[in-house]
Amino acid sequence: MTEPDAPPPATHDLGGALRFRCTPVEPDEAPPDAFGKRVDALRQLLGQKGLMTVDEMRRCIEAIPEAEYHALGYYERWLRAISALMVEKGVLAAEDLGP
Amino acid sequence: MAAPPRAESLVLLERFVTALKAKGVVTEAEIETQITRTDRASPEIGARMVARAWTDPAYRALLLSNGSAAAEAEGVSMAGMPPLGVLEDTETLHHLVVCTLCSCYPRAVLGYPPHWYKSAAYRARAVRDPRGVLAEWGTVLPAGMEVRVVDSTADYRWMVLPRRPAGTEGWDAQRLAAIVTRDHLVGVALPRTP
């Protein structure tokens, strides 16, 4: 249990979060769609090529502001994270990703 | 259902891939190959490992002491993967696996994590109200059975070795594997005879 004076947990740290205590788990068994599979493959390839580690990707996912974190889909969060990371590392330029 | 990606995400993906290709970082062929390879992993691999452990004591010992080696023994490449740990259910102890921080999952032996495993509700509630979560799968544990919830992390992934159900005496590994599903390997449900 969290101590009363402890700082609130980070956005992604959902273990035990009370606001979801009455939310049923959506029984969705569908595999990822084409978008998700493509993002997933890119994530693996960038890792294999030594351009990114899982911890770097986590840092970028966990830095997404809370409102967006919950509004974005799972693989949308991943895409945001890995594309931002490639710009941060100078692999791509910011302009490559949009105006 | 998981919501479809928003238009701006589709645009971002297109720009991202185009830029990566232009810089020579990835090719379309590599992306396609990676998707095909990832699609191949499925809970059938984990089910096969469980069935083998139910019928082969030496394999069971290997599975529980070194899950990664046990996966390799089933022909799965674990190179570059975080270690796989396997949690043994007993008459008095049931295991449930969650990744409270995101979605860490033994993908090499279970495939893509399902949407529900990554959902805020599952991540939040698995540790606070595991029996309530299990009930949503229709899983009611006998009174007195302890539930241990284990958090998969980026550095260590977990899978459950459920108990072999009664009524399967004399079954071979292939027949046993057919009754083991992803839900059993995560711990939200228990295998039963059909």
Chain B residues within an 8 Å CB radius of A24: 121, 136
Based on the residue annotation, tell me whether B99 is a catalytic residue of this protein: yes
Looking at CA atoms only, how far is residue A77 from chain B in angstroms? 9
Say yes or no to pLDDT of B79 above 90. no
CATH code: domain of residue A79: 1.10.472.20
Closest residue in chain A to residue B39, using alpha carbons only: A37
- List of long-range contacts for B24-32, beta carbons under 8 Å, 24+ apart: B25/A46, B25/A49, B25/A51, B25/A91, B26/A42, B26/A45, B26/A46, B26/A49, B30/A45, B31/A38, B31/A41, B31/A42, B31/A45
Q: Would A52 be classed as within a structural domain? A: yes
Encode pLDDT of B87-102 as tens digits.
Answer: 999 999 999 999 999 8
pLDDT class for A99, splitting at 50, 70, 90?
confident
Q: Would A68 be classed as within a structural domain? A: yes
Q: Would A17 be classed as within a structural domain? A: no
Encode pLDDT of A50-80 as tens digits.
Answer: 999 999 999 999 999 989 998 999 999 999 9
**Which tokens in the block code for residue B39?**
């699609």
Closest residue in chain A to residue B134, using alpha carbons only: A25
Total number of domains constituting chain A: 1
Domain range annotation of chain B: 5-38, 42-186
What's the pLDDT score for residue B194? 79
Residue A15: count other Cβ atoms within 10 Å of its Cβ.
18
Chain A residues within an 8 Å CB radius of B139: none
Q: Would A11 be classed as within a structural domain? A: no
DSSP element (H, E) containing B123: helix B120-128
Based on the residue annotation, tell me whether B65 is a catalytic residue of this protein: no
Encode pLDDT of B108-156 as tens digits.
Answer: 999 999 999 999 999 999 999 999 999 999 999 988 999 999 999 989 9
Q: Would A20 be classed as within a structural domain? A: no
For an interface test with A, the pick among B119, B134, B188 (most A C-beta atoms closer than 10 Å) comes out as B119
What's the pLDDT score for residue A2? 55
Based on the residue annotation, tell me whether B102 is a catalytic residue of this protein: yes
Q: Would A19 be classed as within a structural domain? A: no
Name the active-site residue from B42, B65, B77, B102: B102
Say yes or no to pLDDT of A3 above 70. no
Which CATH number does B42-186 carry? 3.90.330.10
What one-letter code names the amino acid at B3? A
- The residue range of the domain holding A48 is 32-97
Predicted complex ipTM: 0.90
CA angle centred on B134, ends B107 and B71, rounded to 5°: 25
Tell me if A76 and B6 make a contact (CB, 8 A cut-off).
yes
Coil/strand/helix, residue B76: coil
> Does the CA dihedral B135-A20-A67-A96 come out positive or negative?
negative
Encode pLDDT of A5-60 as tens digits.
Answer: 787 788 889 898 888 988 999 888 888 999 999 999 999 999 999 999 999 999 99
